[in-house]
């Protein structure tokens, strides 16, 4: 298990961000802005998207300066238009200015991830397929990215290496003693009660894997035709043995152009690395009243 819970991880990341940016103090603000001055500002969307990060924004200022109050004007997950006021901030002018860039970085990143996620979720609407995130995140940002994916309508994959078994091709290449993909699943199940996912990239590997009854199978970089065959093979195998069917997840090279076709093959889930490794920050500004 991780050393910290999710709230503790977020607190630690916020503290690190404050240390990185503020250090010993905001010299410009401290020189020019009177200590007792108060101010009111508005976080304003410069472009349309999906709002995410209000809770993190509030928690950031609670941790950074208790003399600042955030009033949300948009709901988490709400679609926003350019010019929309997202939140009002009031309190110490020094604290607001010092935290301005950090708070905008958090909001812009989380809104960008949520907006891209919503695009993928909308693209597969009606298929019943779930859009999943991956571990392809900037180190240290995963807690924020996972929250943003969830707000955008996606679902979270494993949080890290500790909470699910995912057997990939490189594990099989280095495993001793050597064996089949089914052998790897059996050995993992003997030693752990965690859910087991196995990555395969051919139908032969899938046939072998099904014998070991994994909880999930990751169908990696398969063509649409191969995905359809994999879905049929899995359904037929499970029905013939009266077994619980493993969840099928497609992965690899997924884009907004291809995701609908992948969803229509009958898979249960699609994991999309682009949600977190290629999201573009939403343009948001802080305007003072």
**Is 163 among the catalytic positions?**
no
Which pLDDT score is estimated for 1?
Answer: 47
Which of the four pLDDT bands, split at 50, 70 and 90, describes residue 65? confident
Task: Please answer whether residues 120 and 275 qualify as being in contact, where contact means their C-beta atoms are separated by less than 8 angstroms.
Answer: yes
Burial of 126 (0-12, 13-18, 19+ CB in 10 A): exposed
**Is 55 among the catalytic positions?**
no
- Residue of 37, 168, 178, 232 marked catalytic: 168
Give the C-alpha distances (Å, rounded to integers) separating 220 from 60, 203, 248, 272. Answer: 38, 11, 10, 12
- Residue of 100, 133, 220, 268 marked catalytic: 220
Residue 118 has pLDDT above 60, yes or no: yes
pLDDT, one tens digit per residue, over 192-230 is 999 999 999 999 999 999 999 999 999 999 999 999 999
Which of the four pLDDT bands, split at 50, 70 and 90, describes residue 3? low
Q: Quick one: what percent of the chain has pLDDT higher than 70?
A: 99
Which pLDDT score is estimated for 2?
Answer: 57
Helix-helix angle 203-210:181-191, to 10 degrees: 40
The DSSP element (H or E) to which 75 belongs, if any, is none
Q: For residues 137-159, give the mean pLDDT.
A: 95
- Residue of 37, 69, 75, 101 marked catalytic: 101
The DSSP element (H or E) to which 89 belongs, if any, is strand 85-92
Domain 6-121+280-288 has CATH 3.40.190.10: no
Closest alpha carbon to 153 in 256, 253, 258, 275: 275
**Is 168 among the catalytic positions?**
yes
> In the chain, where does the domain assigned CATH 3.90.1170.20 lie?
6-121+280-288
- Residue of 26, 199, 249, 268 marked catalytic: 199
Q: Which residue has the higher pLDDT, 67 or 238?
A: 238
**What's the rounded Cα separation, in Å, for the pair 282 and 284?**
6
Residue 6 has pLDDT above 90, yes or no: no
CATH number of 122-277: 3.20.20.70
Which pLDDT score is estimated for 129?
Answer: 98
**Is 101 among the catalytic positions?**
yes
Q: Tell me the whole-structure pTM to 2 decimals.
A: 0.95
- Residue of 55, 135, 136, 189 marked catalytic: 136
> In the chain, where does the domain assigned CATH 3.20.20.70 lie?
122-277
Q: For residues 85-110, give the mean pLDDT.
A: 97
Residue 94 has pLDDT above 80, yes or no: yes
What is the residue-averaged pLDDT of the chain? 95
Task: Please answer whether residues 118 and 50 qualify as being in contact, where contact means their C-beta atoms are separated by less than 8 angstroms.
Answer: yes
**Is 220 among the catalytic positions?**
yes
Which pLDDT score is estimated for 66?
Answer: 81
Which pLDDT score is estimated for 64?
Answer: 85
């Amino acid at each position: 298990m991780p050393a910290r819970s999710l709230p503790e991880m977020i607190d630690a990341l916020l503290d690190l961000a404050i240390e990185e940016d503020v250090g010993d103090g905001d010299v410009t603000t401290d020189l020019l802005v009177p200590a007792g001055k108060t101010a009111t500002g508005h976080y304003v969307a410069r472009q349309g998207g999906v709002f995410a990060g209000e809770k993190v924004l509030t928690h950031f200022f609670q941790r950074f300066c208790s003399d600042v109050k955030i009033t949300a004007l948009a709901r988490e997950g709400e679609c926003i238009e350019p010019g929309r006021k997202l939140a009002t901030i009031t309190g110490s002018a020094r604290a607001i200015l010092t935290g301005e860039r950090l708070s905008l970085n958090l909001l812009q990143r989380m809104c960008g991830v949520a907006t891209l996620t919503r695009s993928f979720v909308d693209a597969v609407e009606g298929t019943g397929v779930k859009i999943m995130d991956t571990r392809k995140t900037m180190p240290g940002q995963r807690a924020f990215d996972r929250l943003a994916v969830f707000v955008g309508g996606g679902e979270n994959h494993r949080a890290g290496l500790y909470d699910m078994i995912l057997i990939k091709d490189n594990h099989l290449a280095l495993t001793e003693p050597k064996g089949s993909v089914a052998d790897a699943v059996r050995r993992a199940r003997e030693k752990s009660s965690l859910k087991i996912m196995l990555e395969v990239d051919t139908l032969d590997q899938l046939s072998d894997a099904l014998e070991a009854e994994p909880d999930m199978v990751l169908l990696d970089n398969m063509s649409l035709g191969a995905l359809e065959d994999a879905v049929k093979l899995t359904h037929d195998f499970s029905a013939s043995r009266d077994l619980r069917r493993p969840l099928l997840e497609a992965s690899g090279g997924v884009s907004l152009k291809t995701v609908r076709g992948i969803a229509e093959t009958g898979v249960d889930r699609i994991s999309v690395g682009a949600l977190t490794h290629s999201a573009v920050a939403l343009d948001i500004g802080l305007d003072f009243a």
